[in-house]
Structures are given as C-alpha cells and as structure tokens.
Amino acid sequence: MKKKRIFSAVLVTVLTICVFCLCFYVSGNALRQLPSITQMNYNLKSDALPLTIADIEKLSERISFDGVSFCAELEETNIKEETVLPVLTNESYFEIYNHKLIGKGFTKENMENKDKVAVIESSLALKLFFNTNAVGKTITLNDEVYTICGVINEDENIINSLSSDGKQRVYVPYSGYKEYKNCEVNIEVNIIAYDNKSYSAPLIEQMNLTQYHPTNFSEKAKVIENFEHILLLILFIALCAVSLKIWYRLCRKFVSDIKENLTENYFWKSLRAIPHKYILLIITALGIPAALLTIFLLSDFSIFIISKYIPNDNIFDVSYYISVIVDNSNNINSLALMGNTFLVNLYTSSFSVLVWLLVIFALFSVVIFSIVNIIINRIILLVQNRG
C-alpha cells in the first residue's frame, strides 16, 4: 500500500510540476508582450466610418499626441516575391508598443522631413536579405525606395504563431507616403493606440469613437497576473497540506517518545536524558507554522477584478455575473476587428490555454490516481496468486 501511494504521489507531482511550469511559461510569454496601452481597433460591423489620417492630423492640433499612435493599413503589395502589407504610422508607435528593435524606429525628424524609411519584421528581413539585421538596406514599396531603419525582433513560439494573422507588415512614416495629402484619397485609420499613462489618454477615452473597439492591455495583463497568483495560491495550499501533515506526524512522534520517557523519569531528568527530542519538538511545533506564515506574508496572492464584473449591491448576485458573461460573449461575437489583432489574440489564446491546462490537470490527476491504483492492485493480486 505504501509503494502504491508513493508511486501515485510521484506521478501526480511530476504532472503538477510540468503543468505549472507550462502555465508560468504561457503567462510569462503574454506578460512580456502586453504593453501598458489601450488599443482601439476599427469594428467593421460598426455603422460609423473610421477616422482618416486627415482627421488624426486635425486631432493632433487640439491635443498632445505624445504617447499616442495610429495605424493605417494599405492594400497588400509585393517586395520581390514576398506579399507585404504597408502600414502608415507615426513616431510614437514603436515606443508605446515596446517593440524590441534592431536599429531604431521613426523619429520626429523623419516625420517632419518626410523621410523614406521603413521598419520591417525579422521574419520578413530573413526572407528578403537572409539576415535579420537588415538595417541600412533598401526595399521598393509601391514604386518608392525606402531605407530600412529598424527591424522588429519577433518572439517565435507556438502561442505567438497561433495569435498572428500571418501578414507581413512593413511600417513607414505616414508623412512620407506620396498619397497621404491627396484629398481624393481618404486613408482610413484601422488602429488608434495610446499609452495609458499619457496626458491625452483621458481625452481620447471621452471621445465618442464608438466605431472602434477598445482593449485595455493593462487590464488584460492584470488578468494574466491574477492567474499566476491563483496558481501560486494553489501551490501554497498544497504546500500547507503536505507540511501540516508532516508537522502533525513529527509532533505526534516526538510527544509519544517524550511521554514514554516521562513514565520512567521526572521532567528534569527526562530533559537531560533526551534533550534533542525536546529541541526537535519545539523546532517542529513552531518552525513549520512560522515558515508557512512567512511564505504567506512574503507572497503576493492579491487578485484584481475589473469593477464592471462586480455587482454594486450584492456580490452574491449570481444573475448579475451570468448577464455580464452573456453580454461579453455577445459583444465578442459582434466584432470584426480591423488592423493587427496580434495582442488581442495573444491574450485570448494565453488565457484559453491556461484555463484548459488546469482543467486537463484536474482530470489527469483523477485518471492517474485511478489507473495507478488499478495497476498496482492487479500486480499485488498476480504476486499473491503466484505465491
């Protein structure tokens, strides 16, 4: 029976370590890439038209655009044999998205001088120039020659691949694009993004831009962090269960040994005879609870819940939670977002993977316990029959 329990415990422990390591890898990958911004994607199902670059320029005359960026995607074209998607943006884009760049992004001077510079992704640079460091090389985009000033260093893993839309984007300053001042050509803005700490953030939030769907990645990052805190809490509870069981058994053994010695000796004589038993009892009785309490105080188990998901009157109002979940599902199904949705997909994919990993872990734990018990019982029966 002891061997059976040990074998089951080892299997579940190995599974737990694998699942939790994978969970922390997925959450860490998401947290590294989710910037502290709000991204507003144009919703194709909206009745209102998107803003144009001309509208953005008028807006920039009224409010500061430090920490505010936008993207206007043009029609796909070809560079050599590669299909690419030109994206017009401003100098704040690479700063607020925290892209890891080989080289540099756009500067105000590039925008003012209408420089023909471009930033491409490392995967595209590898295809075009057989090297990710393509800074200083030139590309021809819509019959215009651009000099590459930066290369986005992409993280390649399964979650990122699932989240990507597969389009190869080439970013160029909007002021350097030949058609942007053409009154007959209205270049539509697919994405408006702003740093949540910028001075203009509250002003943009108050604008009636209902045609854009906002995603606050600071909140999404906190949700992922919550998941990490929940995982840590689960591990802490498991540690408490194991530690307290060990604490109880050790204390019971030491107390039993001391009681047995006290039946033959007075207390002081017993203390001199087996001092190590008394010391170990005190260390065990106080040390293990003190260690658990210290871990609890030093760990961060705080959980952030977005205010809209909590009822104002009664936190036990189940109908409210159900209605919020239904509204969220309907809202998501009513979206057809334009622009680069990589970060939105990254959060959704990461959260889904984390939830499913925990569900699979719970099911596998039950299944493994059952299978191990059946196998060991069969082995015991076979041994008994042969004996």
Digitized pLDDT (tens) for each residue of the chain, 387 residues in all: 455 566 666 776 777 788 888 888 999 999 999 999 999 999 998 889 999 998 888 888 888 888 999 999 999 999 988 999 999 999 999 999 988 999 999 999 999 999 999 999 999 999 999 998 899 999 999 889 999 999 999 888 888 888 888 899 999 999 888 776 665 567 899 999 999 998 888 888 888 898 999 999 998 898 898 888 888 888 888 888 888 888 888 888 888 887 877 777 777 777 777 778 888 888 888 988 899 999 888 888 787 766 666 676 666 666 776 776 667 666 666 678 888 889 998 988 888 888 888 887 777 766 666 666 666 566 656 655 665
pLDDT digits (tens, 9 = 90+) for 205-238: 888 898 999 999 998 898 898 888 888 888 888 8
User: Quick one: pLDDT at residue 36?
Assistant: 93
How much is the pTM? Answer: 0.79
Q: Where are the beta strands (DSSP E) in the chain?
A: 37-42, 68-73, 77-79, 82-89, 101-103, 117-121, 138-141, 144-152, 169-173, 191-195, 212-216
- CB-based contacts of 263, cutoff 8 Å, min separation 6: none
Give the H/E segment covering residue 218. helix 217-262
Burial class (CB in 10 A: 0-12, 13-18, 19+), 193: buried
What CA–CA distance (Å, rounded) separates 12 from 361?
9
What CA–CA distance (Å, rounded) separates 147 from 344?
30
User: Quick one: pLDDT at residue 351?
Assistant: 84
User: Quick one: pLDDT at residue 299?
Assistant: 84
Q: How far is CA 137 from the centre of its chain?
A: 34
Q: Where are the beta strands (DSSP E) in 82-211?
A: 82-89, 101-103, 117-121, 138-141, 144-152, 169-173, 191-195
Residue pair 236/299 in contact by the 8 Å Cβ criterion: yes
Both tokens of residue 332?
Answer: 């998501």
